[in-house]
Amino acid sequence: MNERFQRITPFLWFHDNAEEAAHFYVSVFEHSRIVTSTRYSREAAMATGRPEGSVMTIAFELDGQKITGINGGPAFTFTPAVSLVVNCHSQEEVDHYWNHLSEGGNPAAQQCGWLQDRYGLSWQIVPTALFDYLSDADPAKAQRAMQAMLTMKKIDLAQLRGAAA
């Protein structure tokens, strides 16, 4: 089997719940799986203060995208400065990812399709048609779509279509 080589892999720093987060994300995205995990050895646990045998890193795939999570402690936290974009073909997909990823999180904290999940990670749930509306050859249509998008938390394709028309 010839597997595609992924040169760049997002590496996400969690306090102590990387394994829980990975399992949650895998449950949200089709064609996803936990790949492998490493655990804190006795020596590493003593050096870091992490529990011996607890997950150090966990590699997982979300719809083919490789990602690694680490339980690194409280030194770093997520900010909206870095987000993961989920491209969607339909409103149904937008609703699915928005509803699942925002569960227990803070979808009201951001706008224009951005949400913060229960782990503090920011996601952009974006219908691919948005880019068509925003780059329309008619600048007035593109501007109306932009203005409509700026009022939204979750992107609503019907509203965008109406605004652009």
Question: With helix as H, strand as E and coil as C, how does 127-151 read?
Answer: ECHHHHHHCCCCHHHHHHHHHHHHC
At 53-112, the pLDDT tens digits run 999 999 999 999 999 999 999 999 999 999 999 999 999 999 999 999 999 998 776 789
Q: Indicate the CATH number for domain 9-76.
A: 3.10.180.10
Measured CA to CA, the distance from residue 90 to residue 100 in angstroms comes to: 16
- pTM metric for this prediction: 0.90
Domain extent listing, the chain: 9-76, 78-165
Domain 9-76 and domain 78-165 have a common topology? yes
Measured CA to CA, the distance from residue 156 to residue 140 in angstroms comes to: 19
Among the CATH numbers 3.40.50.970, 3.10.180.10, 3.50.50.60, 1.10.4100.10, which is that of 78-165? 3.10.180.10
- Paired tokens of 155: 């992107």
Paired sense of beta strands 55-62 and 65-71, if any: antiparallel
Measured CA to CA, the distance from residue 18 to residue 120 in angstroms comes to: 12
- Would you state the pLDDT for residue 111? 86
